[in-house]
């Protein structure tokens, strides 16, 4: 009797599908990031549609808005536009403006707060007068309305001045204003005119008595005013005919 070999028929193994949660969530995350990125940077929802402008008094607000609109033509997305570039364009076009702050009002508003220049002195050269701010910049022609009660310094050289020119340093302006404030109380003399000659290193104060007091603007105004007080005390009520020179440290000359 012939023995038959044992035949084993193997069953086909079915492939099982395993749901990969991590991969699924990763795909969802990518899709969500794409939608967020598109929504933030390419949709119209976050494009600038409104302007909130504050601080305009002398400057024409409508003209400022036109400059802002022109600047936003390059990039009007609330997240992507460069506030510093917009501020620079505004200051470039309006010498009256000293500071600009640009803020993002999400979702579609740009807020611009400007500070206009404030005059501290009047700069006179020839028959022209200019308002000068604390930074020493001439920014507007002076008239009877906008320069009332401001001290005037006269450039004896009559050098031409253009708007936005830096005519003096902050140090000179501080010195000048201190002299204007304290000259009469310290000396019992009255100021007729204040002048500079070749540079702002020297300041000449013409008194109503006809003589001139020379100051060195690189030294301490307080020290030179104290020297002036000593000279006037020494003169015991007499007045020099021509000048008092306080420009040399430790010395005072008069004639």
Q: Are strands 97-105 and 119-125 parallel, antiparallel or unpaired?
A: unpaired
- Determine the pLDDT at residue 95: 86
d(CA 64, CA 111): 12
What's 14's DSSP letter? P
Question: Can you give the residue range of the structural domain that contains 184?
Answer: 119-254
- 208 and 134 share a domain? yes
The stretch 113-139 carries a mean pLDDT of 94
Q: Is residue 169 part of a domain?
A: yes
- 171 and 111 share a domain? no
pLDDT of 39 over the 80 cut:
no
CATH of the domain at 86: 3.10.20.310
pLDDT-based confidence at 118, cuts 50/70/90?
A: very high
Domain stops at, among 74, 100, 116: 116
**Whether 192 contacts 208, CB under 8 Å:** yes
Q: Is residue 86 part of a domain?
A: yes
**Closest CA relative to residue 191, chosen from 203, 178, 174, 208:** 208
Domain stops at, among 116, 149, 166: 116
- 106 and 126 share a domain? no
Domain stops at, among 59, 87, 116: 116
Provide the whole-model pTM: 0.74
- Ramachandran quadrant class, 236 (left: phi over 0; alpha: psi -120 to 50; beta: rest): left
pLDDT-based confidence at 41, cuts 50/70/90?
A: low
- 145 and 170 share a domain? yes
d(CA 127, CA 217): 25
- 87 and 210 share a domain? no
Q: Is residue 75 part of a domain?
A: yes
Over the stretch 179-237, which tens digit does the pLDDT of each residue have?
A: 999 999 999 999 999 999 889 999 999 999 999 999 999 999 999 999 999 999 999 88
DSSP E strands in the chain: the ranges are 50-54, 97-105, 109-116, 119-125, 128-133, 138-141, 152-155, 191-196, 202-207, 212-216, 243-245, 253-254
**Closest CA relative to residue 48, chosen from 121, 130, 106:** 106
- 133 and 239 share a domain? yes
- Determine the pLDDT at residue 172: 95
**CA dihedral over 167, 169, 175, 180, signed as positive or negative:** positive
- 107 and 231 share a domain? no
CATH of the domain at 160: 3.40.50
- 86 and 124 share a domain? no
- 76 and 145 share a domain? no
- Determine the pLDDT at residue 82: 80
CA distances from 49 to 2, 52, 69, 109 (A): 97, 10, 10, 6
Over the stretch 67-117, which tens digit does the pLDDT of each residue have?
A: 888 888 767 777 778 888 889 999 989 988 999 999 988 888 889 999 999
Q: Are strands 119-125 and 152-155 parallel, antiparallel or unpaired?
A: parallel
Q: Is residue 32 part of a domain?
A: no
**Closest CA relative to residue 140, chosen from 121, 164, 176:** 164
Structural domain total, the chain: 2
- 95 and 147 share a domain? no
- 145 and 246 share a domain? yes
- With a pLDDT cut of 70, the percent of the chain lying above it is 83
């Amino acid at each position: 009797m012939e023995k038959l070999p044992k035949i084993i028929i193997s069953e086909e193994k079915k492939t099982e599908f395993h749901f990969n949660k991590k991969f699924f969530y990763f795909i969802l995350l990518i899709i969500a990031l794409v939608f967020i990125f598109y929504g933030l940077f390419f949709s119209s929802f976050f494009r600038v549609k409104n302007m909130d402008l504050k601080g305009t008094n002398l400057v024409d607000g409508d003209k400022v808005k036109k400059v802002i609109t022109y600047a936003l033509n390059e990039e009007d997305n609330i997240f992507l536009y460069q506030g510093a570039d917009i501020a620079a364009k505004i200051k470039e076009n309006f010498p009256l403006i000293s500071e600009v702050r640009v803020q993002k009002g999400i979702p579609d508003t740009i807020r611009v707060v400007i500070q206009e220049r404030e005059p501290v002195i009047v700069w006179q050269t020839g028959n022209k007068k200019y308002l000068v701010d604390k930074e020493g910049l001439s920014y507007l022609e002076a008239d009877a309305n906008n320069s009332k009660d401001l001290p005037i310094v006269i450039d004896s050289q009559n050098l031409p001045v253009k708007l936005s020119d830096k005519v003096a340093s902050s140090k000179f302006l501080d010195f000048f204003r201190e002299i204007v404030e304290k000259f009469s109380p310290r000396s019992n003399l009255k100021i007729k005119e204040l002048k500079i000659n070749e540079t702002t290193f020297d300041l000449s104060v013409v008194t109503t008595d006809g003589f001139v007091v020379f100051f060195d603007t690189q030294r301490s105004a307080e020290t030179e005013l104290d020297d002036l007080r000593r000279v006037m005390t020494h003169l015991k009520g007499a007045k020099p005919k021509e000048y008092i020179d306080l420009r040399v440290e430790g010395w005072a000359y008069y004639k």
